[in-house]
Amino acid sequence: MPHITNDLTFQLLSALGEGVYGVDMNGNCTFINPAALAMLGYEQDAVIGKDQHILFHHHKPNGEHYPHQDCPIYRTLKTGLRHHVTETFIHKDGRLIPIRLTVTPITRHNTMEGAVVAFSDISELLEAQRAIQAERDLFAEGPVSVIIWEIKENWPIHYVSENIENLFGYSRQTMLDSRFRYTNCVHPDDLNAVAEEVEQFIAEKRHRWEQHYRIVHPNGDIRYLHDHTIAEHDDMGNIIRLHGYLIDETQQKRLEHALTEMATIDALTGLPNRRHLLIELETECARFRRMGNAISVLMLDLDHFKLINDTWGHAAGDAVLQHFAHSLKMLARKTDHIGRLGGEEFVIVLPETDEQGAITFAEKVRTTVFDSNVTFDKTMINYTVSIGVATCHDRKAENADTILQRADQALYKAKTTGRNRIVSINICDTFLEKPTL
């Protein structure tokens, strides 16, 4: 009869997370560890000495009686052969517990005395497998591409759906070739993040994982993916395959980009609108408050713009605004922020630029505009610009509102003293005027 011979063996069995119990040649339980009792819902006294088959293995999942002779434990006791099968035990409260079962014969002096049964609850594993199948069935006819990767060296692809070529631009045959590398499809800027997420996912033996990333189509197009991955585990809980359900989000991302542009970009000039510009300005002011680096703001207003609209019409006025916006884009640095506040009023934020640097840049803008013209309906239209300049000084108090207010004061001074000129205002509210050439 198999039994526990010492305290060390008892401690080892008690520490196991897997259920373990022993039976004699009649199938009666001789010992059982705490994990098995917890899974089955019994106390030890209710199990020891009892026929384990009658106690928690007496019928099949469909309700049919389970004969003793068909039970893998009794087959081991009869044949002396080890069995490793999927079975169902019955909890004390009547619910069914799907298990993975291993029955090993116990012999002494060439005589079999019983068997040891080790089992683990595979409810979560079966649920994950059902989820995998359900999602594959759900997406089989839809706009979802499916890829199954093996967790082996170089991550060979085990399966791809019929519609994979529409998304990736590669045939199923190409992607199933052992030489194909999925990582070559992932956008270089996203590859490290994707690889790190997958490594963590596998290490933590999770069931599900979601990530958004880009792939590069063979024709050079960028596609946006929503990767919803479900792990397939073996009996030990290790991930053996990844089932990826890939949704093409490219059209959605383009729509989001278009909506973002509508919310942040001025449709006529293509420049950031007032809302977006003020966000950029406040960001630069926050950096100034932290670091103390110089920052200047130019407020620009086209002179006599109403006269242009009244003389040649609003379409001509639009052409002038577009011409001016294009000139600013050509003159500005990559680090500068340009925006249209509204009407004929514009703002340029100049990071890392002191007052003298801002005046020099403003003069470049003024002379460029003065020396150019706009051709509209075979008519050449000349226009000029007035510019107010303000530079951040007080790291404690400066913000977007205060510096814009001072730039507006300087612009007002430029407009009221002749236009087509530059006026800078310093912290003491004194003005420095750049005379018209």
Residues with a known catalytic role? 344
CA distance 194 to 235: 27
Nearest to 308 by CA among 368, 367, 369: 369
Rg (CA), the chain: 38
- Residue-level length of the chain: 437
User: CA 261 → CA 207, 224, 267, distances in Å?
Assistant: 38, 18, 8
Sheet strands (E) in 11-132: 19-24, 29-32, 83-90, 96-108, 111-121
Helix (H, G, I), strand (E, B) or coil at 233: strand
What burial letters (b/e) apply to 299-330, b meaning 16+ CB within 10 Å? bbbbbebeebbeebeeebbebbbebbbeebee
* Structural contact between residues 116 and 91, judged by C-beta atoms closer than 8 angstroms: no
DSSP 237: S
Q: Are 383 and 320 in contact (CB under 8 A)?
A: yes
**What is the rounded distance in angstroms from the CA atom of residue 360 to the CA atom of residue 343?**
25
Q: What is the 3-state secondary structure (H, E, C) of 360-411?
A: HHHHHHHHHHHCCCEEECCEEECCCEEEEEEECCCCCCCCHHHHHHHHHHHH
CA distance 389 to 21: 86
State the DSSP string of 240-260: EEEEEEEEE-HHHHHHHHHHH
Paired strand residues for 99: 87, 121
- Tokens 């069935």, located at residue: 137
Tokens of 290: 């932290």
